[in-house]
A and B are shown apart, each in its own frame.
Chain A
Amino acid sequence: MNPEEKDLQINPVVPENVIHNTKTIADIRSLTSSIFGIAAGILGLESYSGFIFYLLGSSIVSVLMVIFIAGGKPQNYFRGTSEIWTLEVFSGSSLSSFILTWTLFFGLLRA
Chain B
Amino acid sequence: MASKALISLSILLLIHSCYSAHEHSLLTPTTTSLPLDVTIETLVSVVLLCFGIVLSNREELKPISWTVWSGVLEREKGCGQFGYLDERVGFLEIRAKRAEFAKWIKGAGEGSSSQKT
Q: List the interface of chain A (C-beta within 8 A of B).
A: 11-14, 17-18, 20-21, 24, 27-28, 31-32, 35-36, 38-39, 42-44, 57, 60-61, 64-65, 68-70, 76-79, 105, 108-110
Contacts and interface: CB of A to CB of B under 8 A. Distances in A.
Contact of B50 (A11, A17, A61, A105): A61
B54 A14 contact: no
A28 B53 contact: yes
B64 A109 contact: no
Contacts of A105: 18
A69 B46 contact: no
Contacts of A11: 65-67
Given A60-B47, A69-B58, A110-B31, A42 B17 contact: yes
B101 interface: no
Contact of B61 (A31, A42, A77): A77
- The secondary-structure label for the interface of chain A is helix
Interface residues of B, number: 34
Interface of B: 14, 17-18, 21-22, 25, 31, 33-34, 38-39, 42-43, 45-47, 49-51, 53-55, 57-58, 60-69
A13 B64 contact: yes
A12 B43 CA distance: 43
Given A17-B63, A43-B39, A69-B60, 15 more contacts: A11-B65, A12-B66, A13-B66, A14-B62, A14-B69, A18-B64, A20-B61, A21-B64, A35-B50, A43-B42, A44-B33, A60-B50, A64-B54, A76-B63, A77-B64
Contacts of A57: 46, 50
